[in-house]
Amino acid sequence: MLSAIRLLLFPFSVLYGLVIRLRHFLFDTGVFKSESFSVPVICVGNIALGGAGKTPQTEYLVRLLQPHYKVAILSRGYGRQTRGYICATPQSTAADIGDEPMQYLQKFPGVTVAVSERRAPGLRLLASSHDVVILDDAYQHRAVRPGYSLLLFDHNTLRRKQFLLPSGNLRDVFSARRRADLMVVTKLPGPPSGAEKQLFEAVLEPRPGQKIYYSGIWYAPPVSLLEEHASPLRLDAGGHALLLTGIANPLPLKSALRQRGWQIKHLAFKDHHPFDRKDLENIIEEYKTLPTDKKVVLTTEKDAQRLLDESLRDLLLNLPVYYIPIETAFFDEGESGFDLEILNYVKSAARDRRLH
């Protein structure tokens, strides 16, 4: 059935591909203008729908750069209920700036977090007062020419044939990968074997000098959503859990929890879903159906930003909700090589900026 639907949609994918290729051609030939900036600009992106790990990769870059530079993150702010350029403040909410920028704001109080649908005007406002700007999910935003681009691929997407929307999940032509300075194969369950590396390299066909790094996801101990002094919860504690997700791809988290002994009942919402009181009432009812007293609600750190809306607080007070932070972890000594690539770029770009 799926193949039949894909076949029916394939002509639309061909048309979509023609439009995308024409757009790239117009940017490449200068008909459409791309703006460059003297400030070092690092773009983190992907070319497929679904979570490739852009948020933990962006956080990795912040942890790497913040000790040495004044860092800003500029995002589109998906799921927010506002428009235009907004520089986040301690009073900002997920409704104001989006869940991912809200997560950055909570984690990195010394970093400027801003949102703007149009990245170039946002960059103009940030450039003079920052040493480096990270563009979150901006690979297709060609009105800006970043100084350095990271392109992420969930390893699972590289193991099957790729199709453009709407018959597949590619939102950009696969050849667009050649613009990236560096590619990262993400969400691997462990270090890739030699055969796996050969497979990924055969699919990605990196151009000379274009490096590929390999990473996985590290799950941190769960953190209580509201109760700062709640009983600690080990990730491998096991038991019954209502898993609450509103992200693009919850399957890796679901699998990781089951491997650690959790009996999961999963409530899946669409990506960036704005939780309301009716949702919370349904969640509470589902939680009550779990068959034991040893039970919790588990969610992602991104979903936690939307659950922390003040209008939901009274419903959450007596519900044991924990979110699970995640981090990017590189394999095969890739961390040192990756770090060096990024630091060398920023150092070189910063030096050029001073000279000009």
The CATH number covering residue 274 comes to 3.40.50
The reply to whether 61 and 201 lie within a common domain is: yes
pLDDT tens figures, 217-276: 999 999 999 976 578 899 999 999 999 999 999 999 999 999 999 999 999 999 999 999
The reply to whether 34 and 122 lie within a common domain is: yes
Query: Which residue range is the domain that position 52 belongs to?
Result: 27-218+330-351
The verdict on residue 7 lying in a domain is: no
Q: Is 317 exposed, middle or buried (0-12, 13-18, 19+ CB in 10 A)?
A: exposed
The reply to whether 228 and 299 lie within a common domain is: yes
The reply to whether 226 and 214 lie within a common domain is: no
| Tokens of residue 271, six digits | 């990506």
Q: How confident is the model at residue 333, as a pLDDT?
A: 83
The reply to whether 170 and 85 lie within a common domain is: yes
**How many structural domains compose the chain?**
2
Distances (CA, A) of 231 to 144, 262, 267, 304: 47, 18, 24, 18
Could you tell me which residue, 293 or 326, shows the higher pLDDT?
A: 326
Q: How confident is the model at residue 158, as a pLDDT?
A: 95
Q: What is the residue type of 55?
A: T
Q: How confident is the model at residue 334, as a pLDDT?
A: 87
Q: How confident is the model at residue 356 (pLDDT cuts 50, 70, 90)?
A: low
The verdict on residue 4 lying in a domain is: no
Contacts (Cβ under 8 Å, ≥6 apart) of 29: none
In sign, the C-alpha dihedral spanning 325, 331, 333, 339 is negative
The reply to whether 176 and 318 lie within a common domain is: no
The reply to whether 49 and 185 lie within a common domain is: yes
CATH number at residue 31: 3.40.50.300
The reply to whether 199 and 291 lie within a common domain is: no
Residues forming beta bridges with residue 86, ordered by sequence position: 115
The verdict on residue 206 lying in a domain is: yes
Burial code (b: 16+ CB inside 10 Å, e: under 16) for 153-173 equals bbbbbbeeeebbbebbbbbbb
| pTM confidence score | 0.95
The verdict on residue 307 lying in a domain is: yes
Q: How confident is the model at residue 318 (pLDDT cuts 50, 70, 90)?
A: confident
DSSP class of residue 105 equals H
Contact of 335 with 313, CB cutoff 8 Å: no
- Which strand ranges, in their side-by-side order, compose the sheet holding 132-136? 86-87, 112-115, 71-75, 132-136, 41-45, 148-154, 182-186, 211-219, 326-330
The reply to whether 47 and 147 lie within a common domain is: yes
The reply to whether 178 and 289 lie within a common domain is: no
**Nearest Cα residue to 46 out of 192, 154, 166:** 154
Mean pLDDT value across residues 3-12: 88
The verdict on residue 300 lying in a domain is: yes
**Nearest Cα residue to 299 out of 243, 342, 239:** 243
* H-run or E-run covering 213: strand 211-219
197 vs 213: CA distance, rounded Å: 10
29 vs 147: CA distance, rounded Å: 19
Binding site listing: 48-55
Grouping H, G, I as helix, E, B as strand and the rest as coil, residue 248 is: coil
Tell me what percent of the residues of the chain surpass a pLDDT of 70.
99
The verdict on residue 39 lying in a domain is: yes
DSSP class of residue 224 equals E
142 vs 4: CA distance, rounded Å: 34
DSSP class of residue 84 equals S
Binding site listing for ATP: 48-55
* H-run or E-run covering 132: strand 132-136
The verdict on residue 16 lying in a domain is: no
115 vs 140: CA distance, rounded Å: 16
What does DSSP say about strands 326-330 and 211-219: parallel, antiparallel, or unpaired?
Answer: antiparallel
Mean pLDDT value across residues 166-195: 96
275 vs 191: CA distance, rounded Å: 37
